[in-house]
Structure 1
Amino acid sequence: MAALTSVLGFSFFGLAARMGQLGIQHRNVMSNPSGHLIAMGVFGFAGYWAHVWTEYSSVLIAQKEAEIRERRSRLTTPSDS
């Protein structure tokens, strides 16, 4: 569900950016609907990769935290040697 919301959110942002671009140029907002679809697709793709990167980075952070906890537990417990 989070991937879908990321893709849709970024897609609608792309649509708004495209409409803002056409508004600044004083062009008809509905003159070229394929441009809207391209902008939505590009921004949706960026939203998908933002979601993928978020998932990947959270896994990396969890692994690194586990490594740090394991190292700290080795340092604080007295060894039996």
Structure 2
Amino acid sequence: MSLLANIVGFSLVGIAARMGQLGIQKRPILENPIGHAIAAGTFGFAGYWAYQWDRRAAVLLAEKRAEIAARRAKTDAPAS
């Protein structure tokens, strides 16, 4: 998943959450557009953070798998 798709997706969830919040409160949905922008920005930042975290986790997993494979190769090698 690309960075842009992650940020836009999370931003849309933030806008939907804001509209749901206003709907529960029975307030006009477009009453305060700044609130929508804040929700979209906050959730968009969360999407950026989640993307970066996912990339870092993939790197850490690859390093750990390589380390385990090297250790297995070392223990499986015939003793000379």
1:50 aligns with 2:62: no
Root-mean-square deviation (Å): 0.9
- Cα deviation code 1:17-57 (max 9, x no counterpart): 00000000000000000000000000000000000000000
Instruction: Compute the TM-score of the two structures, normalised by the length of structure 1.
Output: 0.96
Secondary structure of 2:27 counterpart: coil
Gaps of 5+ in 1: none
Cross-structure match for 2:31? 31
Gaps of 5+ in 2: none
Consecutive aligned runs of 4 or more in structure 1 exceeding 4 Å deviation: none
> 1:78: how far off?
1.6
Alignment of 1:2-81 (within 5 A): 2-80=2-80
Give the paired residue count.
Answer: 80
